[in-house]
Amino acid sequence: MFITIEKVQSIYPSNFFYLYLVKQFTLKKNERLKSRKQIDLLFQEGKNFRVGPIKVIYRIEQAGIEALQFGVTAPNRNFKKAVDRNRIKRLMREAWRLNCTELKTDLLHRSRYLVVFFIFSGRELPNFNEIEEKTRKAIGKLREIVVS
């Protein structure tokens, strides 16, 4: 027995839009940059720019498995406690997850593959609003690069 979208929408009319949004704003496992080879290649051949305390390293290719892969780090020398580094990384991943959908669609329309790595180089713990603002600016700049 197959369940169609229309049937789900008729059963759960108020939750359908919410379920669609939840599925749209995800950061799947295959969208995370984990491959050591990919990371090394990114640092060797990638281009970079800065947006406030965030350094963005990126590499664009013509074809790939996923349209977009993303990695993040906070250096050990600026934040000695792992709790602080993990919080910064969690905030950056969340800001990326909420704001990268337009970049994904641009990449899919142009059949391009983008590998992105964010490095937080600030000296003090940021709040989510600061991180989200800088992440939006970085994503806007990446969209300009992809479109051109």
Which amino acid is located at 94 in the chain?
A: E
Q: Averaging pLDDT over each range in 6-10, 15-19, 121-125, which range is the top one?
A: 121-125
Q: What is the pLDDT of residues 81-118, one digit of tens each?
A: 999 999 999 999 999 999 988 888 888 888 888 999 99
Q: According to the model, what pLDDT value does residue 10 have?
A: 60
Query: Based on the number of CB atoms within 10 Å of its own CB, is 88 exposed (0-12), middle (13-18) or buried (19 or more)?
Result: buried
Which amino acid is located at 103 in the chain?
A: L
Q: According to the model, what pLDDT value does residue 145 have?
A: 92
Write out the two tokens for 142.
């990446």
Q: What is the CATH number of domain 26-147?
A: 3.30.230.10
Q: What is the pLDDT of residues 135-144, one digit of tens each?
A: 999 999 999 9
pTM (2 d.p.): 0.79
